[in-house]
């Protein structure tokens, strides 16, 4: 579930970056639009890694 959400957020960031390259949005607009997405992406990555670590710890003690 979180992996799917992470994939979607990453795709959204990539789409915004493509728009910057094509000149559809400015760099400032990209920064404004992507700031919260980067924060969400980071939280999701850490959450996924934490859950994997806890799962590993529970199963291999």
| Structure confidence at residue 50 (pLDDT) | 94
Could you tell me the pLDDT band of residue 61, with boundaries at 50, 70 and 90? Answer: low
* Mean pLDDT of the 9-38 span: 97
Band (54; pLDDT cuts 50, 70, 90): confident
* pLDDT, position 56: 80
CA distance 50 to 57: 10
How much is the pTM?
A: 0.82
Which tokens sit at 17?
């970056």
- Percent of the residues in the chain that have a pLDDT greater than 70, as a whole number: 98
Sign, CA dihedral 10-16-21-27, equals: negative
- Give domain limits for the chain: 2-59
């Amino acid at each position: 579930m979180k992996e799917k959400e992470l994939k979607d957020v990453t795709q959204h960031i990539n789409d915004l970056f493509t728009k910057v390259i094509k000149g559809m949005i400015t760099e400032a607009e990209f920064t404004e639009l992507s700031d919260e997405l980067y924060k969400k992406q980071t939280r999701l990555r850490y959450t996924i890694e934490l859950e994997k670590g806890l799962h590993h710890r529970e199963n291999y003690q």
